[in-house]
Amino acid sequence: MCGVFGIWEHPEAAKLTYLGLHALQHRGQESAGIVAASAENKTRFDRHIGLGLVADIFSEPVLKQLSGRRSIGHVRYSTAGGSGIQNAQPFTVEAQRGPLAIGHNGNLVNYEDLRSDLERQGAIFTTRSDTEILLHLLARARAPRIEDRVRDALAQVEGAYTLVLMHQDGIIGVRDPSGYRPLVLGKLGDSYVLASETCALDLIEATLVREIEPGEMVSITAKGLHSERLVHDPDAKRRACVFELVYFARPNSQIFDRSVHEARFALGQVLAKEAPADADLVIPVPDSGVPASLGYADLSGLPFRYGLIRSHYVGRTFIEPEQAIRHFGVKLKLSAVRSVLEGKRVVVVDDSIVRGTTSRKIVAMLRSAGAAEVHLRISSPPTTFPCFYGIDTPTREELIAARLDLKGTCDFIGADSLAYVSVAGLHQAVKDTHPKGFCDACFTGEYDTGVDTIRKKMLKVVA
Ligand code: AMP
């Protein structure tokens, strides 16, 4: 769960990176960073990183110091390595052949094995982040061309990686051979832009050129754009993360050549078809449940109403009352609208249930605001397995759907009924084509990359 951005040869490179990161803020709120360089002094990389939100980290004076016409940036949500400032990206190093900067989205499955191998060979690490491994592998690669060094380094890693790299003569964008995480290519005038999602291109008024293909590396230099394949895994199957479409990406983005909003709307329609409810209203859990609720209302013919309002001013820290005020955490974020709910049988649509604690609080809140019946509908299948490819999910034991059956989950949550989209319905809604083009491991346990390492990890957790 991170976002990456890069721009090559633009007079306001760092400012545009700042805006791009702002548009990608939903992909990570723990830290952000920008690295910038100029053609005149291409061995000097200026970097600024910070904890928190993009708008709080970068001020006008800070951005002025990040001068130069080339820049990459990163927003981070830690899924590996903890949330301290030392893990904020992009990372920069002085390698033998010049400076390197890297921003990474995804998780490397064989991180621990690679790290202990490197440590045995004398490597010293300053972070717990799996991205630092990539820098070590890059620094050790011997090929004269940077693209070949990137390919050689990546041949050793298993897992999910969308990368933006900057070296002294260009920027590089890479998607792993399965294409777990998104990456798009855009153009702003003559400048090339790389971004996790198209919403970043829209904000800076760049046009979408195309999606970077799974297993593709694009190298952008003074000579223009050059594309090549990471040939090390010719058998890799395309496995875009379906949860990006379910929850993670922004609805106004287009990723994996699909509109995120359309995919969510279609999920709501499939849900209404598979799990109708005898009810008076459809209400969304804002914001994540809104597009699917619209789809549910569309197909079911039930009226759509805002029965829950979301506050957009919930800070990171707040003072909890010592005397128990029940459901306090959720109350800060969501408020029920009594006039909509009173005496009504409502269908509540949300995108997913992870631990079940949020849904339980929402159902209690709706009942106390007068809802006569609460039918919970979830626009994805039950989350029963953890993700090893970059989505933050707890261990299997903490996933409510892995512990309890449908009735047990419904009882815990306190709803009158509960239903999820089926796995087949999910693939239908995202217009998956045969053979399977999406990773659905969090719903099925069918991992396709680093399977042996994942098996070992899961056994270790159970032991
Ligand atoms: P819970 O069941 O209480 O653990 O939380 C479920 C809620 O968290 C759902 O409303 C989702 O919108 C949201 N959610 C799902 N996956 C994630 C994730 N990986 N990180 C943060 N929030 C998530």
241/391 Cα distance (integer angstroms): 9
- CA 41 and chain centroid, separation: 34
Q: What pLDDT, on the 0 to 100 scale, is given for residue 319?
A: 63
Prediction pTM value: 0.95
Res. 459 pLDDT band, cuts 50 70 90: confident
226/242 Cα distance (integer angstroms): 29
Instruction: Please indicate whether residue 1 or residue 143 has the higher confidence score (pLDDT).
Output: 143
218 bridge partner residues: 173, 227
- Using the predicted structure, report yes or no on whether residue 112 has a pLDDT greater than 70: yes
The single residue listed with the structure tokens 């545009």 is 16
In the chain, residues under CATH classification 3.60.20.10 are 3-236
- CA 128 and chain centroid, separation: 20
Q: Give the residue, by CA position, lying nearest to ligand 1 atom 11.
A: 352
Q: Which of 351, 352, 443 most suits a substitution to test ligand 1, by most atoms within 8 Å of the C-beta? A: 352
Q: What pLDDT, on the 0 to 100 scale, is given for residue 463?
A: 53
Res. 80 pLDDT band, cuts 50 70 90: low
Read off the pLDDT of each residue in 216-228 and give the average, rounded to a whole number.
97
Active-site residue numbers? 2
Ligand 1, residue 358: give the atom nearest the CA: 3
Q: Give the residue, by CA position, lying nearest to ligand 1 atom 23.
A: 354
Closest CA to 330 of 339, 320, 338, 340: 320
- H or E stretch covering 60: helix 60-65
Read off the pLDDT of each residue in 26-51 and give the average, rounded to a whole number.
94
415 ligand 1 Cβ < 6 A: no
Read off the pLDDT of each residue in 33-37 and give the average, rounded to a whole number.
97
Cβ atoms < 10 Å from Cβ of 172? 23
**Could you read off the pLDDT of 341-382 as tens digits, one per residue?**
999 999 999 999 999 999 999 999 999 999 999 999 999 999
Ligand 1, residue 356: give the atom nearest the CA: 2
Q: Helices 131-140 and 146-154 meet at what angle, rounded to 10?
A: 130
Which letter, b or e, does each residue of 143-161 get, where b requires 16 or more Cβ atoms within 10 Å of its Cβ? eeebbebbbbbbebbbbbb
Alpha helices in 313-371 (DSSP H): 328-333, 338-341, 357-368
Instruction: Please indicate whether residue 258 or residue 393 has the higher confidence score (pLDDT).
Output: 258
46 ligand 1 Cβ < 6 A: no
**Could you read off the pLDDT of 275-334 as tens digits, one per residue?**
999 999 999 999 999 999 999 999 999 999 999 999 988 765 556 666 666 557 788 889
Q: Helices 357-368 and 406-413 meet at what angle, rounded to 10?
A: 50
DSSP state of 108: B
54/19 Cα distance (integer angstroms): 9
Kindly indicate whether the domain formed by 261-462 is annotated with CATH number 3.40.50.2020. Answer: yes
In the chain, residues under CATH classification 3.40.50.2020 are 261-462
Q: What pLDDT, on the 0 to 100 scale, is given for residue 32?
A: 97
Res. 66 pLDDT band, cuts 50 70 90: very high
Q: Which of 25, 357, 358, 403 most suits a substitution to test ligand 1, by most atoms within 8 Å of the C-beta? A: 358
393 ligand 1 Cβ < 6 A: yes
**Could you read off the pLDDT of 118-154 as tens digits, one per residue?**
999 999 998 888 999 999 999 999 999 999 999 999 9
Ligand 1, residue 361: give the atom nearest the CA: 3
- What mean pLDDT, rounded, does the chain reach? 93
379 ligand 1 Cβ < 6 A: no
188 ligand 1 Cβ < 6 A: no
Q: Is 240 helix (H, G, I), strand (E, B) or coil?
A: strand
Using the mean position of ligand 1's atoms as its centre, give its distance from the Cα of residue 305 in Å: 22
**Could you read off the pLDDT of 93-110 as tens digits, one per residue?**
998 889 999 999 999 999
Ligand 1, residue 387: give the atom nearest the CA: 19
Res. 460 pLDDT band, cuts 50 70 90: confident
- CA 148 and chain centroid, separation: 28
Q: What pLDDT, on the 0 to 100 scale, is given for residue 322?
A: 63
8 Å CB contact between 285 and 362: yes
| Domain spanning 3-236: CATH superfamily | Aminohydrolase, N-terminal nucleophile (Ntn) domain (3.60.20.10)
219/221 Cα distance (integer angstroms): 7
Q: Which of 354, 362, 398 most suits a substitution to test ligand 1, by most atoms within 8 Å of the C-beta? A: 354
Structure tokens at 335: 């408020």
9 ligand 1 Cβ < 6 A: no
Using the mean position of ligand 1's atoms as its centre, give its distance from the Cα of residue 249 in Å: 13
Res. 79 pLDDT band, cuts 50 70 90: low
Using the mean position of ligand 1's atoms as its centre, give its distance from the Cα of residue 145 in Å: 43
25/6 Cα distance (integer angstroms): 15
247 ligand 1 Cβ < 6 A: yes
Closest CA to 215 of 137, 260, 170, 154: 154
233/159 Cα distance (integer angstroms): 12
**Could you read off the pLDDT of 150-174 as tens digits, one per residue?**
999 999 999 999 999 999 999 999 9
333 ligand 1 Cβ < 6 A: no
8 Å CB contact between 321 and 332: no
Could you give the percent of the chain with pLDDT greater than 70?
Answer: 95
**Could you read off the pLDDT of 232-245 as tens digits, one per residue?**
666 778 999 999 99
352 ligand 1 Cβ < 6 A: yes
Q: Which of 247, 290, 327 most suits a substitution to test ligand 1, by most atoms within 8 Å of the C-beta? A: 247
327 ligand 1 Cβ < 6 A: no
- Using the predicted structure, report yes or no on whether residue 224 has a pLDDT greater than 70: yes
Ligand 1, residue 400: give the atom nearest the CA: 2
- CA 66 and chain centroid, separation: 26
Ligand 1, residue 350: give the atom nearest the CA: 10
130 ligand 1 Cβ < 6 A: no
Cβ atoms < 10 Å from Cβ of 413? 22
Closest CA to 375 of 420, 340, 324, 405: 420
- Using the predicted structure, report yes or no on whether residue 249 has a pLDDT greater than 90: yes
Could you give the percent of the chain with pLDDT greater than 90?
Answer: 83
Q: What pLDDT, on the 0 to 100 scale, is given for residue 177?
A: 94
Q: What pLDDT, on the 0 to 100 scale, is given for residue 329?
A: 75
CB proximity list for 424: less than 8 A, separation 6 or greater: none
Q: What pLDDT, on the 0 to 100 scale, is given for residue 324?
A: 61
Residue 143's φ and ψ, nearest 5 degrees, are -60, 145
Cis preceding linkage at 287, omega within 30: yes
Give the pairing of strands 373-378 and 308-310. Answer: unpaired
Using the mean position of ligand 1's atoms as its centre, give its distance from the Cα of residue 353 in Å: 6
Give the pairing of strands 373-378 and 417-420. Answer: parallel
56/53 Cα distance (integer angstroms): 5
8 Å CB contact between 378 and 421: yes
